[in-house]
């Protein structure tokens, strides 16, 4: 099983998010392979869900396109099988609590283990609700990656850090996912508090979409979701533009000049 902390070892990590089955099964496989080939360190695969409370309009629309392709949780595992035939890039799932519950905790975790899906991000499962699932994931070596809200105080951060696995996912702004022109959260102070509570790497997501927001000086990595999903929705040959976009962000994270990308 991939140790997720290793993706942050040698440089700032670029983490991209795609929705499984958007616009179709084969395209998602190609998207993940393309991202892996040009410097993406980890791909977050969203399992389509009917009530994605953390997701904004861009990702909700992608979920609907995936449903049109009859993408079920079991079909997502089949998609990962196809991905694993072409790349060993680290993968995690973004999913919702009811999906894992309905699938059966142990069965879901066992499938993840067999396909080297190293972690889960579950936006609607706060720390207080994770006690039933966490031992099962620990048994199978699957990280439950926590979300840290901008409003989290020291005590809350410490409690989350004590149970955290993989890395700390910092939510840059209140609200749902979606690109933002300006991020007003005092992320430097928030990240400093997290680093006081844990040695796990810190990645920032929600709203990040361009190099100026990459925040390489603050965090160990960035997570880009809605911007990647938008590129997939608006470009027929999405793999080419995903490669260009990843190179653009990779240069920014590495401290090199980032040219403009459409």
Q: How many CA atoms lie within 13 A of 40 on its CB side?
A: 29
Q: CA angle, 94 as apex, 90 and 95 as ends, to 5°? A: 140
Domain carrying residue 51: 12-145+214-253
User: Does residue 141 lie within any of the structural domains?
Assistant: yes
User: Does residue 203 lie within any of the structural domains?
Assistant: no
User: Does residue 239 lie within any of the structural domains?
Assistant: yes
> Which tokens sit at 37?
């080939």
User: Does residue 3 lie within any of the structural domains?
Assistant: no
Active-site annotation holds for 254: no
Q: Please write the tens of the pLDDT for every residue from 9-47.
A: 989 999 999 999 999 999 999 999 999 999 999 999 999
User: Does residue 153 lie within any of the structural domains?
Assistant: no
User: Does residue 101 lie within any of the structural domains?
Assistant: yes
What pLDDT score was predicted for residue 87?
98
Which one from 3, 26, 41, 55 is the annotated catalytic residue? 55
User: Does residue 232 lie within any of the structural domains?
Assistant: yes
Q: Which of the two residues, 209 and 122, has the higher pLDDT score?
A: 122
Domain total of the chain:
1
Which one from 3, 22, 26, 44 is the annotated catalytic residue? 44
The span from the CA of 211 to the CA of 67, in Å, is 32
What pLDDT score was predicted for residue 262?
43
User: Does residue 199 lie within any of the structural domains?
Assistant: no
Active-site annotation holds for 44: yes
Longest Cα–Cα distance in the chain = 47
CATH of the domain at 116: 3.20.20.70
Per the listing, tokens 């009859």 go with 70
Dihedral, 29, 109, 144, 126 alpha carbons, nearest 10: 110
């Amino acid at each position: 099983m991939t140790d997720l902390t290793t993706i942050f070892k040698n440089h700032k990590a670029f983490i991209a998010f795609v929705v499984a089955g958007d616009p179709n099964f084969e395209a998602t496989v190609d998207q993940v392979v393309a991202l892996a080939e040009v410097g993406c360190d980890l791909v977050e695969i969203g399992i389509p869900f009917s009530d994605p409370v953390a997701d904004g309009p861009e990702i909700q629309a992608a979920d609907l396109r995936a449903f049109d392709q009859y993408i079920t949780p079991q079909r997502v595992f089949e998609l990962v099988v196809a991905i694993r035939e072409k790349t060993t890039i680290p993968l995690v799932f973004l999913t919702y609590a009811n999906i894992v519950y309905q699938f059966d905790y142990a069965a879901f975790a066992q499938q993840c283990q067999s396909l080297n899906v190293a972690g889960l991000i579950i936006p609607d499962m706060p720390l207080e609700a994770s006690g039933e699932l966490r031992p099962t994931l620990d048994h199978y070596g699957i990280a439950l990656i926590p979300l840290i809200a901008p409003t989290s105080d020291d005590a809350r951060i410490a409690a989350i850090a004590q149970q955290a696995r993989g890395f700390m996912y910092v939510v840059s702004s209140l609200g749902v996912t979606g690109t933002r022109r300006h991020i007003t959260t005092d992320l430097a102070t928030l990240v400093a508090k997290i680093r006081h509570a844990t040695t796990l790497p810190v990645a920032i997501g929600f709203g990040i979409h361009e190099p100026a927001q990459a925040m390489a000086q603050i965090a160990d990595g960035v997570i880009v979701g809605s911007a990647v999903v938008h590129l997939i929705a608006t470009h027929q040959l999405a793999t080419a533009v995903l490669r260009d976009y990843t190179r653009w962000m990779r240069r920014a994270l590495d401290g090199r000049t980032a040219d403009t990308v459409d």
